[in-house]
Chains A and B, each alone.
Chain A
């Protein structure tokens, strides 16, 4: 029963928290230094600064569900 609840909860929670996405996408991933990117340190600094901004505006962004974003070309 609880198993099903947990799974159903995940399926419905299509909008993975934006916080989780930013933590994954900005904080991890293999580093291959591009030929003209801002330095990795630059990305890291911006990422660290997000902590302050984002935890307070998370609710404001909750409407941003994944499926509302254009993902595939029609």
Chain B
């Protein structure tokens, strides 16, 4: 249905999910961020762009305002992730940043053409890989303190103390041991820069790993081993597989102009 992307409805724009190499795999049947239009493969400059038509008012003109609406942001970001993940299931894809919107397919093609060198480089870098998120949490004693409280007042005091304890102990030698072990399995690691989840209580370390799909078992065995070793002291949360969000470059700086 590539034709629909070319129609000239002035109140519709193209929302980009990511870029992949041409000629790989089947086109997944997946719905876009607006829960209505399907995601389509658009050939661009020898690459394939994954995009869906969205309402210009909602996704371009009012994007900033909508992003401040948590309910809107939650739904749309989950759909963005689902679309990228569906495409990533059958091929390598460089995920695009949230909210990348183009006027039409020719403006999309022009922008992709301009970035082709670094897109091709990044595609090579993530080839055959998927991303896994790792978080290490400090297992706290406070929960037991609160549970052991004899009076309501004591309970509340223990809960308050637990809530107010800001920083967990710094990542220790054991966390370093995990990082070393991870480097054996991962093609690349990226320290976590997650601003949103950084506030989770007890978080000691977070990061992302770029792992060859073929190495998935090794990763999970490694995590299992550390989980056993750390029982009662530290807890590991493994999330994934994600599309390789954290292993794409941000590209060259933008020009000042807006098209």
Q: How far is the CA of A33 from the CA of B259 in the complex (A)?
A: 10
Q: List, in ascending order, chain A residues with CB within 8 A of B198's CB.
A: 51
Q: List, in ascending order, chain A residues with CB within 8 A of B97's CB.
A: 26, 28-31, 40, 43
Q: How many residues of B contact A (CB 8 A)?
A: 73
A32-B96, A51-B196 known; A25+B103 contact, CB < 8 A: no
Q: Which single member of A18, A28, A70 contacts B74 (CB below 8 Å)? A: A18
Q: Which single member of B19, B133, B245 contacts A25 (CB below 8 Å)? A: B245
Q: List, in ascending order, chain B residues with CB within 8 A of A38's CB.
A: 63-64, 99
A33-B254, A38-B63, A69-B79 known; A57+B70 contact, CB < 8 A: yes
Q: List, in ascending order, chain A residues with CB within 8 A of B100's CB.
A: 31-34, 37
- A35 and B82 contact, CB distance less than 8 A: no
Q: How far is the CA of A36 from the CA of B197 in the complex (A)?
A: 29
Q: List, in ascending order, chain A residues with CB within 8 A of B38's CB.
A: 73
Question: A66 → chain B, closest Cβ, in Å?
Answer: 6
Q: List, in ascending order, chain B residues with CB within 8 A of A32's CB.
A: 16, 19, 96, 100, 111-112, 115, 119, 251
- B102 and A34 contact, CB distance less than 8 A: yes
A6-B224, A25-B245 known; A18+B60 contact, CB < 8 A: no
Q: Which single member of B64, B73, B236 contacts A42 (CB below 8 Å)? A: B64
Q: List, in ascending order, chain A residues with CB within 8 A of B60's CB.
A: 36-37
Interface residue? B246 (CB, 8 A): yes
Q: How many residues of A contact B (CB 8 A)?
A: 51
- B82 and A71 contact, CB distance less than 8 A: yes
Question: B2 → chain A, closest Cβ, in Å?
Answer: 17
Question: B115 → chain A, closest Cβ, in Å?
Answer: 5
- A24 and B96 contact, CB distance less than 8 A: no
- B122 and A30 contact, CB distance less than 8 A: yes
Nearest neighbor of A66 in chain B, beta-carbon distance: B78
Q: List, in ascending order, chain A residues with CB within 8 A of B99's CB.
A: 34, 37-38, 43
Q: A2-B227, A2-B231 are in contact. List 12 more A-B contacts (CB 8 A).
A: A6-B236, A19-B197, A22-B74, A22-B77, A25-B77, A28-B97, A28-B245, A35-B102, A35-B258, A40-B97, A58-B200, A73-B29
Please give me the 9 A-B residue pairs with the lowest Cβ-Cβ distance, nearest first. A3-B224, A55-B199, A23-B194, A35-B259, A19-B197, A28-B245, A29-B97, A30-B248, A35-B107
